A = this chain, B = another copy of it.
Amino acid sequence: MAGIKQVQRQTGVALWRQIADRIREAISRGAYDETGMVPPETVLALQFGVNRHTVRSALAALAQEGIVRAVQGRGTLIERKERLNFPISRRTRFTDGLRDQARETHAILLGHAEEAADAEVARWLRIEQGTPVIRLETVRDADKRPVARGTSWFPAARFAGIGEIYRKTESITKAFAVLGLSDYVRATTEITATHADAGDIADLELTPGAVLLITKAMNTDLEGVPVQYSISRFAADRVQFTIEN
């Protein structure tokens, strides 16, 4: 390899930014495709003629952008990504929506409980605060990769036992069917984005600083009665939403 162009000091652009730009460019050029990894920090530090910590600042920035992912003891891996598409419509179904995009999907029930509806849940489900609801905590995988984790609430009186049914069927649609609700529709969806918290990082196998797409959604039966309120947290670099009007 020919000599590497050194970074420039006192230019008004911090060294770590220059280095981040150079590494980002090298990655997109395919310079590290053989190994799928960035060279070790010590090597990069030598190449750019800076301290290892300066390289670490650059790599931290790239990790935050989702371009690389550092694994202690192994190295810094280059991330490549394709996004799963989630259409949002009146007929939005989580699992069905993935059918053509992933060979294998799973819905794992982390836990379920019966509790009293708080103000937010009560408002979305249009019930009295304090009414019993069933809460489900789930993680959804597509091809062994976690895609989203979520919390759903259901009116307890109408959907008693939905937790265990969901664990077996791995599908809200099927669980509803078992409980006598043959069809339902998506009424409203609210979308925001933020950074991943500790729970997201653990459940979705993300790195600190990762971006999340968050949906708050309410489903109703065909009479317009709310049957489910859910908050889902998607790994933003693995999904996109589409709305067709």
Contact = CB atoms under 8 A, between A and B. Distances in A.
Contact of A237 (B64, B194, B209, B242): B194
Given A209-B209, A211-B211, A245-B186, A192 B89 contact: no
Interface in A184-218: 185-195, 208-209, 211-213
B243 A195 contact: no
Contacts of A195: 64-66, 209, 211
Contacts of A191: 191, 213, 240-243
A116 interface: no
Indicate the member of A83, A185, A209 with the most B CB atoms within 10 Å: A209
A107 interface: no
A181 interface: no
Contact of A88 (B65, B66, B243): B243
A66 B197 CA distance: 12
A244 interface: yes
B187 A244 contact: yes
A236 interface: yes
A186 B244 CA distance: 8
27 contacts: A64-B64, A64-B208, A65-B195, A66-B195, A83-B192, A89-B245, A187-B245, A188-B244, A188-B245, A189-B242, A189-B243, A190-B241, A190-B242, A190-B243, A191-B240, A191-B241, A191-B242, A191-B243, A192-B213, A192-B236, A192-B239, A193-B236, A194-B211, A195-B211, A209-B209, A211-B211, A243-B243
